[in-house]
Amino acid sequence: DSTIFDVPEKDVDIVVNECYHVFRELDRHISKYWGINWNVPLAGEVAVGPSWGRVDKVDNPFKENV
């Protein structure tokens, strides 16, 4: 599945960071709001571009170095 946001160019960095923050905390959100102990890793990607067919993946600023 995917979610598409139409964001002013000046706000793209903010939205990218928020998306990756949600991905990072998703298991805690699921537990908090739905009471499910989620222990399966979930990940997401963010891509930015002027149209659906012309996007580039944006690196996750929260990605932990392993």
Residue of 15 and 52 predicted with greater confidence? 15
pLDDT tens per residue across span 6-18: 999 999 999 999 9
Which DSSP category does 52 fall into? T
Please state the rounded mean pLDDT for residues 46-66: 81
From the CB of residue 12, how many other CB atoms can be counted at a distance below 10 Å? 14
Give the closest residue to 63 by CA, choosing from 49, 46, 51, 40: 46
From CA 11, how far away is CA 7, in angstroms rounded? 6
Question: Residue 64: what pLDDT?
Answer: 62
Give the closest residue to 5 by CA, choosing from 58, 41, 43, 42: 58
